[in-house]
A = this chain, B = another copy of it.
Amino acid sequence: MDDHEFITQLQKLGTTIRELRSARGFSQESFADACGLDRTYVGGVERGERNLGFKNLLRISEALDVEPSELLADISAKSGGK
């Protein structure tokens, strides 16, 4: 788990969030509002630029109406991926 690998995983998470948000017809702004977060922040999360905390992971999964573990379904901690 080097730094590059971590960024890759963060970007995968961001992409997952973006896809679910779009699928639910949210703009970044209305979605940020639903999460109780800032619009510039969720934009950064979707671009994989933000190492978000556990709390915000839960808030986002709640707003998307998915289980938190589903958001990480694509994510692996191993370089090789699974």
Residues of A within 8 A of B (CB): 1, 6, 9-10, 13, 51-55, 57-59, 61-62, 67-70, 72-73, 75-78, 82
Contact = CB atoms under 8 A, between A and B. Distances in A.
Contacts of A73: 69
A77 to B, nearest CB: 4
Q: How many copies does the complex hold?
A: 2
B82 A75 contact: no
A78 B10 CA distance: 23
7 contacts: A1-B59, A51-B53, A51-B55, A53-B54, A58-B77, A59-B77, A68-B72
Given A9-B58, A10-B54, A61-B77, 19 more contacts: A6-B58, A13-B54, A52-B54, A53-B53, A54-B54, A58-B75, A58-B77, A62-B77, A62-B78, A67-B72, A67-B75, A67-B76, A68-B72, A68-B76, A69-B69, A69-B70, A69-B73, A69-B75, A72-B72
